[in-house]
Structure 1
Amino acid sequence: MFSSLSIQRLASAGLICLLAACGSSSVRQDAKNDYVKTLPPVGNTLSKANVNPSQLLNRITFGSNFTSDQQLQSVNMDRYLDQQLRSRGSVVPNVIQAQINSMTISQLSLEELIHKLEAQRIEAEQQKGVDDSLRKAYQQELNRLYREFATRSLLRDVYSPNQLQEQMTWFWMNHFNIHSGKHNVRAMLGDFEENAIRPNALGNFRDLLRATAYHPAMLRYLDNEYNTVGHINENYAREIMELHTMGVNSGYSQKDVQELARVLTGIGVNLNGNAPKIKPEFSRLYIRRGLFEFNPQRHDFGDKQFLGNTIYGRGLNEMEDVLTMLTRQPATARYISKKLAMYFVSDNPSDALVQSMANSFLQSDGNIPVTLRTMFDSPEFIASLGHKFKDPLHYVVSEVRLAYDGNYIVNAGPMLNWLNMMGQPLNGHQTPDGYAMDESAWASPGQMSVRFDIARAMAFGTPGLFKADNMTVAEKPPAPALANSMYAKTMSSTFSSETREALKQAKSPNEWNIFFLASPEMMRR
């Protein structure tokens, strides 16, 4: 039985949990606006350094093209970067938005989607050995929903003017990696990106971490749905500390992991919508929001010792406390800052840059745009422009953005295939550490051979991009006009003498396109 103090603590925790977990959207929106307001005024760092606009665009967007250059030229480099840091939402051309709106993941809530899939899965299980077509249909539906998620993500990468938000959305999707092959998370990835990652990609890190911690895709992938009092599962607790916040060898102990796992007991998912039977003394603490569920009967209400602090057992608010504590650790500030610097600057950013970013992270209480501004204003960032090797996603998207600028693709299938060929399908990394960011992971001879094949396919036009499923190719699918593009010609004038000489030797526009798209310079950003 609980003592009177325990009952009082649990009852108050129930109310606080509800406020914390289901707080008003207006409060959250005001907080997001505050993150933007704290950005320092626009300076002249980039203009003063005489940065090449194309190189800047290649770094803070998914790839420079004439459209993004016009966007930059309408203001100036420093103001353009400031606008990108303040950008919110995905604004794409109407024809692209229409494709997105037609997707199942855009029309159904995650709860509706999963309830339908669960009914389909259960029916398939009941017919196992009798009618295997139901199981195949279930798997095909999961694959279709995954393809919708990946297609929507790529369309936004190609067409959204808020390119820094798109880059940061992918960065955090990789940081909080969820492998698409486990359970039914293929059907959850679209919602994970749309409602956990995207709204917080340029917000506050605690809000971002919290959104991932409440999302059923994360709880399923890292097995926290099986984490219950008396049967502790440490998977999610370990990855929160090792990969999501503090990083390996940052001062926490195995005991801290175990205590965090205790904090996370009872936090899981409810896929069918049926409420479990709850004892009266726990009923006020039970929380279900969509597919997320906190079941107090599965929670360890004992006090915990975490990172030298006492976490009093009172339910879901324990997680709220530890997430705040983790985001304010100096180790977390350094770990996140180093990953950002590796993504945007170099494979081996200096300790001075990382520490400067970490200081901004801590002083701003996890403000992501403020941390990024510190990095973008640094001489190290400016000196690195044009040198960072493109991972497959950056290579594919940058090629499409440049080659088909002004044209609207109707089928992202070829792009998805190219990413598969290069070993970087979206959310295809099996372990929670995500894809590597360094050049050595992607610069193999085999990788370069595939990239040349992609460049050749692009150079002669890729009709598949303009062929919707079950439809014939458009009569004259657009072909890249790079050889006759003044913007591409201007870009090529900054290439090495060897590349410029090769371009001069091209015997046709298509051959010029191949040499340009497969050039060493197009492999870097």
Structure 2
Amino acid sequence: MRQVLTPPFAVYVLNRLGYGPRRGTPFSVEAFNALGANDDARLTAFVDQQLNPSTNPAGDVTDPDVAARLAHENYTTLGKTFEQLWQDHEVNGNPSGGPYTRDLPIREIERAVFVRATYSRWGLFEQMADFWHNHFNIYGYDRYAAPTWVSWDRDVIRRNALGNFRSMLQATFDSPAMLYYLDNYINRAPSFNENYAREIIELHTLGSINYLGANLQQHEVPDIPAGQPGAGWPVGYVDADVYELARAFTGWTFHRGASGGPNTGVAYMIPAQHDIGQKNVLGQFVAANTPYATEHQLFLDRLAYHPGTARHIALKLARRFVSDAPPQELVDHVANVFWQNRMAPDQIRLTLRALLLHDAGPGSFRDIGNFGNKVKKPFEAVVGALRAVSADFTIRRDDSESNSFMDRFRRSGHRPFDWRPPDGFPDDRNYWLGGGAFVHAWRTVDWVLDENTGSNQGDPLAPVLAITQNEFSNSPAEHTPNKLANFWLRRALGWAPDPVNGWAGTPLHTAIRDFMARNTDTVSLFNPDVGIGNGPSGNTAGLGTDGSPNYWHSRLRGMVGCILFSPQFMAR
């Protein structure tokens, strides 16, 4: 990205492993730098801290600030069990003449995800929750996903996000949301629907990188050589593996009140619809008439424990946290850790630690030369902006400001859980460089900066003026365009290239300063070293006023917006 300066190591880490610094919290530059005597020591301490977040007895990650915000009365579904969600929002979610409540769980979680990302001290965990939501992607407003989304988010994704991959895979396999989304609920013998079987291999486990093509048969696939992980297993998969797995999944559905049966959402097998013939998936053979539960477990084990799955997950994690083209040596190292710990209850935690702390030289995570090879996706950009300006905004359901926020943000193309294909939102830098995504993310931030800033309104969502007066100066003489630009660049970006002069002298500072100093003729500039409200004719109204012709308060917020829209802020 043009005109982007490399920040200190702390800023790079906080933007990669979370959603950017947040002043006065453990996820700040100051807190990171206090963790050790050098960057390597600080990174190790920070990663270990982030990989061991506070949890409640149920194993859910907790944060006091987030918990207080999500306790708001407008959040009503977050504490419900799966059984309660199914009964309240599926069975009784669309009563004749009554209130429509089927989609309340998804509406609450798509708002709660902003609250968690903005205010939680466990930024790396929130990144991992987002990673797994995309890896096991389901369209959140799908038929059986919307009413049960609280459970999908909490019990399937978040509770397993740093745990064991095989356990997470099992939880997705038992979910009515997944079985419906990928059509396994209608997968039945003697024919079969291959949709779920294909995606569980192609997206959830081995990945397309281990697909050997349509022309090979199973007996033609070479085995993994002796001495290597998975020795003796086929090196990859072919279409026949998909078809065999689809046969194994025939009859696997969930109770939804069909034909007068129970309506509970619980997964179960319809024996009459299950193919009982012998099957072979990735070299795992099962004889005819094998009990379906045994068959399922054997095949899910083979998928989860195949070294190809380790390579696929390692590559995706490296693309998320390091670069779109990570070093092969790093990917191989991470894949080996994933495979060696395939039975460990904290397999994913160990894998992620290996990725972030392994020193593979140039291109490894600790190489700050990575800065700028990724850009903030719209969600990351908006949340990062909320953190940078210390916004106080509990986004929630049934709230006009929250609805305005969500309506603007959805136009960015990155509304949470709104990706309809099963592959999840792209993690490729180039996909997000189109103007539409950024423009609507910036419009969302601009709305936040302006909300509640007029007369006779509530507290502003982004207290830009109060921060300026309380953290910088309340004196008009100090409110010069030069000093204001320097203060907000340092505050919003979390650093400055020079310890004394800050951002002064950089092209970015000049552009931001000139925005603030521009005269109403749009050509000439006020003296950038004269305080706003402390100058000659035309510059006598203070920074907190918003009258014609200069609209200083609006311009101050606009100046902050320019920083948040800059390539320097958008780079990761």
Work out which of the residue numbers 68, 82, 100 in structure 2 matches 1:95: 68
Work out which of the residue numbers 278, 288, 299 in structure 2 matches 1:322: 299
Q: Could you give the per-residue CA deviations for residues 163-182 of structure 1, whole angstroms, max 9, x where no partner exists?
A: 11111001100111101343
1:503 lines up with 2:503 in the alignment: no
Structure 1 residues 493, 394: closer, same or farther in 2, change over 3 A? same
- Name the residue aligned to 1:303: 278
Q: Could you give the per-residue CA deviations for residues 162-218 of structure 1, whole angstroms, max 9, x where no partner exists?
A: 111111001100111101343232222221011000011111111111111111111
1:374 lines up with 2:354 in the alignment: yes
3-state SS in 1 of match to 2:508: helix
Letter in 1 for 2:280: Q
Letter in 2 for 1:515: C
Q: Is the 8 A contact 2:90 2:147 kept in 1?
A: no
Work out which of the residue numbers 77, 82, 102 in structure 1 matches 2:48: 82
Q: Is the 8 A contact 2:448 2:462 kept in 1?
A: no
Work out which of the residue numbers 376, 382, 398 in structure 2 matches 1:396: 382
1:53 lines up with 2:10 in the alignment: yes
Q: Is the 8 A contact 2:8 2:495 kept in 1?
A: no
3-state SS in 2 of match to 1:293: strand
Distance across 2 between alignment mates of 1:500 and 1:264: 60
- Name the residue aligned to 1:479: 463
1:514 lines up with 2:514 in the alignment: no
Q: Is the 8 A contact 2:184 2:193 kept in 1?
A: yes
1:257 lines up with 2:242 in the alignment: yes
1:115 lines up with 2:95 in the alignment: no
Q: Is the 8 A contact 1:344 1:381 kept in 2?
A: yes
Structure 1 residues 82, 123: closer, same or farther in 2, change over 3 A? closer
- Name the residue aligned to 2:320: 343
Distance across 1 between alignment mates of 2:94 and 2:564: 49
Work out which of the residue numbers 200, 206, 223 in structure 2 matches 1:246: 206
Q: Is the 8 A contact 1:114 1:271 kept in 2?
A: no
The Cα shift of 1:395 comes to 0.9
The Cα shift of 1:421 comes to 1.4
Distance across 2 between alignment mates of 1:355 and 1:214: 31
Q: Is the 8 A contact 1:58 1:64 kept in 2?
A: yes
Q: Is the 8 A contact 1:115 1:271 kept in 2?
A: no
> What does 1:171-250 correspond to in 2, within 5 Å?
171-248=131-208, 250=210
- Name the residue aligned to 2:480: none
Q: Could you give the per-residue CA deviations for residues 124-145 of structure 1, whole angstroms, max 9, x where no partner exists?
A: 5xxxxxxxx77xx64xx33433
Structure 1 residues 107, 386: closer, same or farther in 2, change over 3 A? same
Count of aligned positions: 444
Distance across 1 between alignment mates of 2:249 and 2:561: 53
Larger radius of gyration: 2
- Name the residue aligned to 1:167: 127
Letter in 2 for 1:62: Y
Structure 1 residues 107, 454: closer, same or farther in 2, change over 3 A? closer
The Cα shift of 1:337 comes to 0.9
Work out which of the residue numbers 141, 145, 157 in structure 1 matches 2:117: 157
The Cα shift of 1:274 comes to 9.0
Letter in 2 for 1:299: H
Q: Could you give the per-residue CA deviations for residues 458-510 of structure 1, whole angstroms, max 9, x where no partner exists?
A: 443x349xxxxxxx952555523375566437525477932122233242532
Distance across 2 between alignment mates of 1:143 and 1:212: 20
3-state SS in 2 of match to 1:382: coil
Greater RCO (Cα-Cα under 8 Å, separation 6 or more): 1
Letter in 1 for 2:510: E
RMSD: 2.9
Letter in 1 for 2:326: P
Instruction: Give unpaired runs (5+ residues) of structure 2.
Output: 1-6, 37-41, 56-60, 211-235, 397-401, 469-483, 517-554
Q: Is the 8 A contact 1:115 1:273 kept in 2?
A: no
3-state SS in 1 of match to 2:317: helix
- Name the residue aligned to 2:222: none
Q: Could you give the per-residue CA deviations for residues 347-366 of structure 1, whole angstroms, max 9, x where no partner exists?
A: 11122221121111111217
3-state SS in 1 of match to 2:156: helix
- Name the residue aligned to 2:253: 268
The Cα shift of 1:391 comes to 1.0
Structure 1 residues 375, 121: closer, same or farther in 2, change over 3 A? closer
Work out which of the residue numbers 488, 497, 511 in structure 1 matches 2:492: 488
Structure 1 residues 159, 273: closer, same or farther in 2, change over 3 A? farther
Distance across 1 between alignment mates of 2:174 and 2:122: 26
Structure 1 residues 415, 166: closer, same or farther in 2, change over 3 A? farther
Segment of structure 1 superposing worse, 151-160 or 488-497: 488-497
Structure 1 residues 149, 449: closer, same or farther in 2, change over 3 A? closer
The Cα shift of 1:414 comes to 4.5
Give TM-score scaled by structure 2 length: 0.71
Q: Could you give the per-residue CA deviations for residues 266-323 of structure 1, whole angstroms, max 9, x where no partner exists?
A: 221113499859xxxxxxxxxx986222333432232211112212421222222211
> What does 1:13-24 correspond to in 2, within 5 Å?
none
3-state SS in 2 of match to 1:219: helix
Structure 1 residues 218, 477: closer, same or farther in 2, change over 3 A? closer
Larger helix share, 1 or 2 = 1
1:62 lines up with 2:19 in the alignment: yes
Letter in 1 for 2:511: A
3-state SS in 1 of match to 2:394: coil
Distance across 2 between alignment mates of 1:162 and 1:113: 27
Q: Could you give the per-residue CA deviations for residues 82-117 of structure 1, whole angstroms, max 9, x where no partner exists?
A: 111122513241531312x75332243333332344
Distance across 1 between alignment mates of 2:447 and 2:95: 43
Distance across 2 between alignment mates of 1:121 and 1:459: 36
Give TM-score scaled by structure 1 length: 0.77
Structure 1 residues 473, 198: closer, same or farther in 2, change over 3 A? farther
Work out which of the residue numbers 118, 126, 146 in structure 1 matches 2:106: 146
Q: Is the 8 A contact 1:493 1:500 kept in 2?
A: no
Q: Is the 8 A contact 1:92 1:161 kept in 2?
A: no
The Cα shift of 1:261 comes to 1.2
Distance across 2 between alignment mates of 1:207 and 1:424: 28
3-state SS in 1 of match to 2:268: strand
Structure 1 residues 370, 122: closer, same or farther in 2, change over 3 A? closer
Q: Is the 8 A contact 1:51 1:382 kept in 2?
A: no
- Name the residue aligned to 1:7: none
Distance across 2 between alignment mates of 1:73 and 1:274: 63
Distance across 2 between alignment mates of 1:369 and 1:489: 29
Q: Is the 8 A contact 1:96 1:408 kept in 2?
A: no
Structure 1 residues 62, 273: closer, same or farther in 2, change over 3 A? farther
3-state SS in 2 of match to 1:510: helix
- Name the residue aligned to 2:571: 524
Segment of structure 1 superposing worse, 488-497 or 248-257: 488-497
Q: Could you give the per-residue CA deviations for residues 404-427 of structure 1, whole angstroms, max 9, x where no partner exists?
A: 25x343544354334311101112
Q: Is the 8 A contact 1:229 1:300 kept in 2?
A: yes
Identity %: 30
Letter in 2 for 1:295: I
Structure 1 residues 241, 478: closer, same or farther in 2, change over 3 A? closer
